[in-house]
Structure 1
Amino acid sequence: MSDRSEQTQALDPDQRAALDAALALAQWAADLTWDTVPDEVRDRLRLVLLDTLGVTMLGARLPERAGLIDAWTPGDGPAPLIGTGIRTSPEVAAWLNATALVSLEMDEGNKFAGGHPAAHGFPAVLALAATLDADGPATAAALLVAYEVGARYGRASTAVPGLHPHGNWGFTGAAAGCAKLIGLDADQITAAIDAASGMPIAGPFSAALDGNPVRNEWMGACNVAGLAAARLAKSGMANPTGIAAHSLGGLLGAFSPTVLVEELGQRWDIGLGYFKRHASCAFTHPTADAALVLRPQLPDAGVDAITGIRVSTYSAAANLHRTRWNNRLAAMFSIPYVVATALRDGRVAPDGYDASNSAEFRALADRVDVVADAVFDDRLPDARGAAVEITLADGRVLREEVANPIGDAAREPFDYERTVALLRDLLGDGDAVARVLEAASSLPETPSARAVLDTLTES
């Protein structure tokens, strides 16, 4: 019996199951080539990449980012910090691009994974691709591996109550994508995934509700850990033990290895994700959509005619009920903030926060009551819904219910034109949008990922 076989036999059954499933997933990843990917999946990868690059550039423009970048004192290197004029090491680029990407709550997500597979792995893969000057097909295949592996680990993980999904199951996607890009084989990709699944962050969801920006840093840590795990596997020092059974399972919740390989090679999770038109937590989006439907039905007095607002939604979303916030992050995780912004402005955009501390705005938010309704819980994860009831001073009640938010794969999914329109609205800069469009379109076929990504360095 080989040393590897003896070691595997010494593992407990849960570890062996986790390791076997990881190996099957890694074999799929090792065998994947861009030219064998179905056309519709290739198109979806480009669309997710377009959203990711555009939203990263948007986040990079936040005024507080300058101080953060200065605090890192990034040295010279080949990897671009999108929208900053800086080129630096892959580690610094992966971390800071990841935190910019998630800072405005507009990054693509996946309700079946329960989080954001692209944000967990794309910054690391792109930074590594620029560093290695990889070609487009290799980079695109690695991005797809990062998404699919991360999404499957998200599906397989059931978190303990109160755990935020940033920076735990997604480590595996970052590691798999980076390992794929540096040309590791199936055993080595398994080792990278296993190492990454031993690095998860037990981040409390309360950080988002409280407006603690460490919540964004978990995504930076995830991407850098993916790089580290791939390098550990390449060195031969990684020792895969099915550790996800005791980290993602046990410590952080429950883990189901069989989910990792369900419909492997047939189902593409990247096609089941959602895009966000509101600068707020995805849990708030069905509520925002319902409020926007009701807004034109308000009387001439507008929001002043409202005496009460009742939001019914699924339990996880109902926890976002605070009517006070101390910064933009906390506001984006408040349904009262989102409802008040939607009714006041007709949209929930990043600049909506600027007026949210006025007495009039706070008074409107105070009239929002958020409750959990088991009807919506029973429909998860296929439907993430909410109902909004607005009571007016004249006694009338306006009501709207939505089963899924706009942008979800199940309701008005974003296409190329809609994504471009959203980025034009958000960035307000034709040149920046054109560069993002060209990068997302050309990257999968380019002979030089570095040359393409370098066009995004400037804001």
Structure 2
Amino acid sequence: MSKTQTIDDRYSRTIAQFVADLRYEAIPQEVRERMKLLLLDAFGCGLYGAALDWSRSLQRACGSVDDTRKCTIWGTSQKLSAPSAALINGTQVQGFELDDANHRGVVHLGAATLSPLVALAESRGGMSGRDLIVAAVAGYEIGSRVGICMTPDHIGQGWHPAGTVGIFAAACGSARAIGLDASRTQWALGHAGSQASGLMAAQYGAMIKRVHAGHAAECGMMGALFAEEGLTGIVNVFESEYGGFLTTYSRSNDRFRIEELCAGLGTHWETMNVSLKFYACVFSGHTALDAIREIQQERPFGPADVERIVVHGSKVTMDHVGWKYRPEGMTSAQLNLPFCIATLLLEGDVFVDQFTPESIHDAQRIALADRVKVIEDAAITARGARYRHMVRVEVFFKDGGRLERTVEVSRGSEKRFAPAADIVAKYEKLVRHVLPTRQMDALREAVLDLERLDDAVRLGPLLARGRGALDAA
């Protein structure tokens, strides 16, 4: 990149410099501790996701053309190349609507950020636990800011931010992990913008929705590796008026806030604003589920007591999860709020055990979902992106009674972040399906003590399934 360039690349350059310069000591301790919990949660989601149909499809597809045996496919005995591992493991993390997200940025971060880092640790070596923490923070900080810059209108336009925005988290985390300087990190950003993809129409039933974050993980990592070898990228990927990421991926070419890209960079830590899930469904439905539970605490009730339920939310919530349920696959079930409310009322929870292949065609759930309506509340929409998950839920009872609750943020969100014990419990609830107890405990301890891990390659065997996996660690 020429030092005499006249193009405007100030935001891209500032981001690249931040990523290249980020050091462990510059990250506040509370951010480092939060990151370890986020990583533990992502590992739990990824391990659980190993046996899902779409994950198995990817494992077979990549295994049929990839004979490299270096990087662990989490929760399996399979090893493949770093790109395949980043793709598959990223997909597994996002594979069952369990993974983290920055609500303002409307983007899942762990799926795109973590899988490339582990793949790089296994394939290249030389990465300590501290290095992994720093690289992960770089990915989370920039991925969050790109999402915030794009505003919820980005997903409203039909893009899936897990893919389109998550790729920047993957690129920045990978660039930091392999030690790129600022110039090459800027190229990696340009590669990420060129490869960004993901369409929200997949939410209605297509398995490919699960792959968007994994694709971002793979392409973001490869973008950093391309840059390392001198392949130049778009240096003004955010600023370019024609063909830049912001103008191209924004409705009407102007619905973005470019100043958010670098706002508070290095002093305000968006990692602290990442939320965790305690329901196995899309985040846009969590506040409504919390509201139903609160109403049940005031008046215990079940499906037979309900005449109808009305959820008042933002336009984004209505568009994203408020459509009439159609049994077109597991994806449509987990991304449909009426179906999830029906599941809660019938099953008492909305977690992994409640979503089975049979459940998506359950006539009782579908009939109950038809009694749930999601409508836009213009006043909530007007409050902006920070309140896009806010809902007012009305339950109308058959005896003529009515109760309502307003919930602004869900349990596990940045404003109601869960205690460490709850996060560990979720991890164990997921991983016990996959790993023996001793290995599950060893992985948990390694992640929660990550700064003391001398070589992050040790994580690979702890994530593998099969005899000897723990001994190999």
CA distance in 2, matches of 1:239, 1:32: 21
1:326 — aligned with what? Answer: 328
1:163 matched to 2:159? yes
2:199 — aligned with what? Answer: 204
The superposition leaves residues 107-158 of structure 1 with CA deviations (integer Å, 9 ceiling, x where unpaired) of 0110122211222222112211221222222222111111111111112224
1:410 — aligned with what? Answer: 415
> Which secondary structure does the structure 1 equivalent of 2:162 belong to?
coil
The 5 Å alignment of 1:358-373 reads: 358-373=362-377
Q: Say which is worse superposed, 330-339 or 171-180, in terms of deviation.
A: 171-180
1:341 — aligned with what? Answer: 343
Unaligned runs of 5+ in 1: none
Shift in Å, 1:363: 1.3
2:275 — aligned with what? Answer: 274
> Which secondary structure does the structure 2 equivalent of 1:370 belong to?
strand
Distance of aligned partners of 1:131 and 1:161 in 2 relative to their CA distance in 1, 3 Å threshold: same
Contact 1:168 1:248 survives alignment (8 Å):
no
CA distance in 2, matches of 1:342, 1:336: 10
Q: AA paired with 2:266?
A: G
CA distance in 2, matches of 1:247, 1:336: 38
Shift in Å, 1:57: 0.5
Q: 2:425 aligns with which of 409, 421, 427?
A: 421
Q: 1:251 aligns with which of 231, 248, 252?
A: 248
Fraction of identical pairs, as percent: 26
CA distance in 2, matches of 1:31, 1:68: 36
Q: CA RMSD in A?
A: 2.0
The 5 Å alignment of 1:364-383 reads: 364-383=368-387
Distance of aligned partners of 1:66 and 1:163 in 2 relative to their CA distance in 1, 3 Å threshold: closer
CA distance in 2, matches of 1:255, 1:236: 31
CA distance in 1, matches of 2:295, 2:332: 25
Contact 1:178 1:226 survives alignment (8 Å):
yes
Shift in Å, 1:264: 1.5
Q: AA paired with 1:380?
A: G
Distance of aligned partners of 1:177 and 1:64 in 2 relative to their CA distance in 1, 3 Å threshold: closer
Contact 1:58 1:426 survives alignment (8 Å):
yes
CA distance in 1, matches of 2:144, 2:17: 16
Shift in Å, 1:349: 0.8
Q: 2:130 aligns with which of 133, 137, 146?
A: 137
The superposition leaves residues 189-234 of structure 1 with CA deviations (integer Å, 9 ceiling, x where unpaired) of 1111122122211x332211x1112122221211111122112211
Shift in Å, 1:269: 0.5
CA distance in 2, matches of 1:350, 1:326: 18
The 5 Å alignment of 1:78-97 reads: 78-97=70-89
1:351 — aligned with what? Answer: 353
Q: AA paired with 2:328?
A: N
The superposition leaves residues 26-57 of structure 1 with CA deviations (integer Å, 9 ceiling, x where unpaired) of 21222211133211011011011010101101
Contact 1:54 1:433 survives alignment (8 Å):
no
2:90 — aligned with what? Answer: 98
Distance of aligned partners of 1:36 and 1:318 in 2 relative to their CA distance in 1, 3 Å threshold: same
Distance of aligned partners of 1:396 and 1:448 in 2 relative to their CA distance in 1, 3 Å threshold: same
Distance of aligned partners of 1:24 and 1:371 in 2 relative to their CA distance in 1, 3 Å threshold: same
Distance of aligned partners of 1:318 and 1:239 in 2 relative to their CA distance in 1, 3 Å threshold: closer
Contact 2:313 2:380 survives alignment (8 Å):
yes
> Which secondary structure does the structure 1 equivalent of 2:267 belong to?
coil
Contact 1:156 1:259 survives alignment (8 Å):
yes
Q: Say which is worse superposed, 51-60 or 321-330, in terms of deviation.
A: 321-330
2:308 — aligned with what? Answer: 308
Q: AA paired with 1:456?
A: L
> Which secondary structure does the structure 2 equivalent of 1:410 belong to?
helix
Shift in Å, 1:303: 0.9
Shift in Å, 1:335: 0.7
2:191 — aligned with what? Answer: 195
> Which secondary structure does the structure 1 equivalent of 2:326 belong to?
coil
> Which secondary structure does the structure 2 equivalent of 1:382 belong to?
helix
Distance of aligned partners of 1:422 and 1:190 in 2 relative to their CA distance in 1, 3 Å threshold: same
Distance of aligned partners of 1:132 and 1:299 in 2 relative to their CA distance in 1, 3 Å threshold: closer
Q: AA paired with 1:142?
A: A
> Which secondary structure does the structure 1 equivalent of 2:308 belong to?
strand
1:51 matched to 2:57? no
1:21 matched to 2:8? no
Distance of aligned partners of 1:362 and 1:274 in 2 relative to their CA distance in 1, 3 Å threshold: same
Shift in Å, 1:404: 0.8
> Which secondary structure does the structure 2 equivalent of 1:444 belong to?
helix
1:400 — aligned with what? Answer: 405
Shift in Å, 1:356: 4.2
Distance of aligned partners of 1:397 and 1:450 in 2 relative to their CA distance in 1, 3 Å threshold: same
Q: AA paired with 1:345?
A: E
Q: Say which is worse superposed, 71-80 or 322-331, in terms of deviation.
A: 71-80
State how many pairs are aligned.
Answer: 445
Distance of aligned partners of 1:242 and 1:92 in 2 relative to their CA distance in 1, 3 Å threshold: same
Q: Say which is worse superposed, 326-335 or 124-133, in terms of deviation.
A: 124-133
CA distance in 2, matches of 1:299, 1:195: 53
Shift in Å, 1:66: 3.0
2:471 — aligned with what? Answer: none
Shift in Å, 1:276: 0.4
> Which secondary structure does the structure 2 equivalent of 1:155 belong to?
helix
CA distance in 2, matches of 1:439, 1:32: 23
Distance of aligned partners of 1:72 and 1:237 in 2 relative to their CA distance in 1, 3 Å threshold: closer
CA distance in 2, matches of 1:338, 1:451: 39
CA distance in 2, matches of 1:185, 1:68: 33
Distance of aligned partners of 1:256 and 1:179 in 2 relative to their CA distance in 1, 3 Å threshold: same
CA distance in 1, matches of 2:463, 2:350: 26
1:186 — aligned with what? Answer: 182
CA distance in 2, matches of 1:143, 1:78: 21
Contact 2:236 2:244 survives alignment (8 Å):
no
Contact 1:292 1:347 survives alignment (8 Å):
no
Shift in Å, 1:256: 3.7
Shift in Å, 1:332: 0.9
> Which secondary structure does the structure 1 equivalent of 2:374 belong to?
strand
Q: 2:215 aligns with which of 221, 230, 244?
A: 221
2:470 — aligned with what? Answer: none
The superposition leaves residues 362-416 of structure 1 with CA deviations (integer Å, 9 ceiling, x where unpaired) of 21111111101122223333332112211111111121221111111112x1121
Contact 1:105 1:280 survives alignment (8 Å):
yes
Normalised TM-score (structure 2):
0.89
> Which secondary structure does the structure 2 equivalent of 1:237 belong to?
coil
